[in-house]
Amino acid sequence: EPEVTQTPSHQVTQMGQEVILRCVPISNHLYFYWYRQILGQKVEFLVSFYNNEISEKSEIFDDQFSVERPDGSNFTLKIRSTKLEDSAMYFCASSVGETSVVETQYFGPGTRLLVL
Amino acid sequence: AQSVTQPDIHITVSEGASLELRCNYSYGATPYLFWYVQSPGQGLQLLLKYFSGDTLVQGIKGFEAEFKRSQSSFNLRKPSVHWSDAAEYFCAVDNSGAGSYQLTFGKGTKLSVIP
């Protein structure tokens, strides 16, 4: 069964450093998402991406965040200058992208980011 | 604004007992509702979803959920819990009725199973 994959599974970084979280969505999916879950809190939407551009973003997704689809398979989330409060589990998700119907999102296993 | 409430943070049941996890939503348009499960070290796995039609939906692993519009609820049930069901369960609402594909999640309910 096709699945969303994410690398790395864990990442430890120093405050102020840049990190790139990588995701490989399900191959025939066209809509991609990033969510995060701070320890003990809700899973929160960050951004959605369709047709090579950001479709929607939350207020969390400020200028320090960016997303990219650098090739035909990867979808990345970059955090330019990490802060302590960026420590969280980051989930990538993808959906088919038939935008006339409700989308079912399939999630990856997550990357746990720890900022020291 | 749309919101999802899971009133139980942690539930413990004995193996073989029945289970009901509560979910209430606040949403102006027709809600599209999901239950996801997260096992330790794993991602979010889709259990079931409700879009329209029959208000009782069946999912994987023997789970079902019932949509009750009058109560704004979408409770998850299983008649007989297995030890492998120990995990965290998340209810979510899709906002596509409002032109957005983002999911709004509840805080989750952690399920412990006593052998």
| Residue B65 neighbours by CB distance under 10 Å | 26
Higher model confidence: residue A21 or residue A103?
A: A21
CB A108 within 8 A of CB A91: yes
Q: What mean pLDDT is reported for chain B? A: 91
What's the confidence (pLDDT) of residue A83? 96
Could A102 and B32 be called an inter-chain contact, meaning their C-beta atoms sit closer than 8 Å?
A: yes
Indicate if the pLDDT at residue B30 is higher than 80. Answer: no
User: Average pLDDT of chain A?
Assistant: 92
End-to-end CA distance of chain B: 41
**Do residue B43 and residue A108 have CB atoms under 8 angstroms apart?**
yes
Q: State yes or no: pLDDT of A24 exceeds 80.
A: yes
Chain B contact residues (CB < 8 Å to A): 32, 34, 36, 41-46, 49, 51, 90, 92, 94, 96, 100-108
Cβ contacts of B49 on chain A, cutoff 8 Å: 104
Query: d(Cα A1, Cα B37) in Å, to the nearest integer?
Result: 17
pLDDT for the residue numbered B95? 76
DSSP string, B51-111: -SS-SEEE-GGG-EEEEEGGGTEEEEEESS--GGG-EEEEEEEE-GGGT---EEE---EEE
- Candidates A57, A56, A53, A79; CA nearest to A68 is A53
Instruction: Give the integer Cα–Cα distance in Å for B84 and B4.
Output: 26
- pLDDT per residue over A41-68, tens digit each? 889 999 999 989 999 999 999 999 999 9
- Compute and round to an integer the Cα radius of gyration of chain A: 13
Q: Which two tokens stand for residue B36?
A: 């996801």
Instruction: State the pLDDT confidence band at A23, using cuts at 50, 70 and 90.
Output: very high
Please give the backbone phi and psi of residue A60, each rounded to the nearest 5 degrees, phi first: -70, -35
Nearest to A43 among B45, B46, B105 (CB): B105
Query: What is the per-residue pLDDT for A99?
Result: 62
- What pLDDT was estimated at residue A10? 95
- Residue B43 is encoded by which pair of tokens? 């991602």
Mean pLDDT of B65-91: 95
Confidence band (pLDDT; 50, 70, 90) for A7? Answer: very high
More confident residue, B13 or B96: B13
Spatial CB neighbours of B70, under 8 Å, sequence gap ≥ 6: none
